[in-house]
Structure 1
Amino acid sequence: MKSDRLLAFLLLLQTHGQLSATDLAERLEVSVRTVFRDMEALSAAGVPVYAERGRNGGIALVPGYRTDVTGLTADEARALFVLLTDRTHADLGLGQAIGSALRKVMAALPEAHRGAADLVSRRILVDPVRWRTGPAPAVDLGDMQAAVFDDRRLRLRYRRGENGEVRTYTLDPYGLVDKAGIWYLVADHRGAPRMFRADRVIFAQVAEEPVRRRKGVELADVWDELRRQIDEAPADVGVVVRVRRGILGWFLRLHQADLAGPPPEAGAAGGDGNSPEGDDEGWAVLELRFRALGAARPLLAFGTDVEVVSPPELREELARVATDIASLYRAE
Structure 2
Amino acid sequence: MRADRLVSLVLLLRQNGRLSATALARELEVSTRTVLRDIEALSAAGVPVYAERGRHGGFALLPGFQTELTGLNHDEALALLVAGSRPGAQAFGLGSALASAMRKVVDALPEGHRAIAAGAAQRVLIDPETDLLARRLVAEEVPDSVVTEVRRAVFAGHKLRIHYAAVDQSPKWRTVDPIGLVTVRDQGYLLATRSGTERTYRLSRVLAAEELAEPAQRSDRVDLDRVWQERGTRFRTGGDQVTVLVRVSPARREDLVRTALAVAAEVTDADGWLRLEATFQDSRHAEWALWQLATDAEALTPNWLRDALRERAAAIADRYES
- Give TM-score scaled by structure 1 length: 0.48
Larger Rg: 1
TM-score, normalised with respect to structure 2:
0.49
